[in-house]
Amino acid sequence: MTHTANPPKIVLGFESSCDETGVALCTTEGRILGQALYSQIAMHKDYGGVVPELASRDHIRRLIPLMEETLAQAGIAMKQVDAIAVTTGPGLPGALMAGCSFAYSLAMGLNLPVIPVHHLEGHLLSPLLSINPPAFPFTALLVSGGHTQLMGVERLGQYSLLGETLDDAAGEAFDKTAKMIGLPYPGGPALSKLAESGNPERFKLPRPMLHSGDYMFSFSGLKTAVLTTAMKLAGVSQPSETMVISDTDKADLAASFQAAIVETLVKKALAACLQQDHKRLVVAGGVGANKLLREQLEKAARKRGVEVYFPELSLCTDNGAMIAFAGAMQLAGKPELLNSRDYGMHTRPRCELASTQPVFSNP
């Protein structure tokens, strides 16, 4: 990486904002030394979604074993760690509290600095961890379970919000639509898998705000259109969890929904990128794992001379590596953070990335 504190420092990072506990070690040169991840999907599956209280309790259970696994994998002793990075927001309040209480206590006990990390900055920077990382500047499409945003990224720490969703996030729309047609949580991967066998042109679903002339999104109308179509197919006048729809209808509905959401994301992301005069478009967040989105973006971008960058598939959804990396990059750009001993813990369940202060003075 470009920002190198001399000699390289080691950052131990923790992620616990939702339903994944992630721990990783990253150097200020941007090298991941070790990482471990535990996904709570199996635990939440029975409830059809994330149960916040269960999530917090499980993070508490996983943090220490994952940390030990990460250190052992990297062959690094705790005394070699120079700083602790942790996701302070946005996310589920209890889940954030679990990770932050642990990370801050550990830092205080070891007399190490804490580097608070914005979860979305972790996602945003995750493509920089791939073999072919993008150079700055670029436009980023952040598509996760909680967020859908287009950001202009001039350099590390300098982000401007170009547009975002007015209601549901793209991942949330995938999850809710999947639930409507009886697919298991998490809906995104299940729906996109089913869509592979469906006809994306069978149902004409809306592409909300496609021609709004800005970079805003809205997905709740699309979700309602799926519900109305599902009710028609099931021959019922009231929505219910027991609507009976044939497998073919379900697959066609899934494919039509996915086509609508992907078309909107692709068109808006590319328009924002061209308007910013950027030659690179970066996609991050869980929905970035979607195959159709990847294919369509590549295709549309190639036509306009724009290059698209994705994180490694394993780094699309929440993980510790992106948080350790974002923390390490903060430290690389601002080595004086090593002297900070601010243990005033502030979790921020809701917070904007673009409003956070740039931390790098040097591109």
From the list ligand KG4, Zn ion, none, partner contacted by residue 290 (C-beta under 5 to 8 A by kind): ligand KG4
To the nearest whole angstrom, how small is the minimum distance from the Cβ of residue 232 to ligand KG4? 25
Q: In DSSP terms, which residues pair with 26 in a beta bridge?
A: 11, 32
87 in contact with Zn ion (CB under 5 A): no
320 in contact with ligand KG4 (CB under 6 A): no
Residue 348's closest CA among 17, 15, 11, 13? 17
To the nearest whole angstrom, how small is the minimum distance from the Cβ of residue 316 to ligand KG4? 7
Q: Give me 267's structure tokens.
A: 């068109």
Torsion of CA 280, 284, 289, 295, to 10 degrees: -20
24 in contact with ligand KG4 (CB under 6 A): no
Nearby residues of 215 by Cβ (< 8 Å), 6 or more positions away: 150, 162, 163, 164, 268, 271, 272
From the list Zn ion, ligand KG4, none, partner contacted by residue 163 (C-beta under 5 to 8 A by kind): none
287 in contact with ligand KG4 (CB under 6 A): yes
Among 30, 146, 157, 320, contact with ligand KG4 (rule: CB under 6 A):
146
Nearby residues of 259 by Cβ (< 8 Å), 6 or more positions away: 200, 201, 205, 292
Return the range that interacts with Zn ion (CB under 5 A); candidates 99-107, 139-147, 214-222, 334-342: 139-147
Report the alpha-carbon distance of residue 120 to residue 76 in Å, rounded: 27
Question: In b/e form, how buried is each residue of 324-339, taking b as 16+ CB within 10 angstroms?
Answer: bbbbbbbbbbbeebee
From the list ligand KG4, Zn ion, none, partner contacted by residue 188 (C-beta under 5 to 8 A by kind): ligand KG4
318 in contact with Zn ion (CB under 5 A): yes
257 in contact with ligand KG4 (CB under 6 A): no
Residue 198 in contact with residue 251, Cβ under 8 Å? yes
Going through 64-202 in order, the beta strands assigned E by DSSP cover: 83-89, 114-118, 138-143, 148-155, 158-164
Residue 163 in contact with residue 217, Cβ under 8 Å? yes
Return the range that interacts with ligand KG4 (CB under 6 A); candidates 159-167, 269-277, 279-287, 352-360: 279-287
Nearby residues of 34 by Cβ (< 8 Å), 6 or more positions away: 24, 25, 69, 70, 71, 72, 73, 74, 75, 76
Among 89, 134, 152, 285, contact with ligand KG4 (rule: CB under 6 A):
285
Number of residues near ligand KG4 (by CB under 6 A): 19
To the nearest whole angstrom, how small is the minimum distance from the Cβ of residue 157 to ligand KG4? 20
From the list Zn ion, ligand KG4, none, partner contacted by residue 186 (C-beta under 5 to 8 A by kind): ligand KG4
Looking at residues 288 to 317 of the shown chain, list those that interact with ligand KG4 (rule: CB under 6 A): 289-290, 317
Among 113, 152, 188, 200, contact with ligand KG4 (rule: CB under 6 A):
188
Reduced to 3 states (helix: H, G, I; strand: E, B; else coil), residue 69 is: helix
144 in contact with Zn ion (CB under 5 A): yes
**Contact residues: Zn ion, CB under 5 A:** 144, 318
**Contact residues: ligand KG4, CB under 6 A:** 18, 144-146, 171, 174-175, 186-189, 192, 285-287, 289-290, 317-318
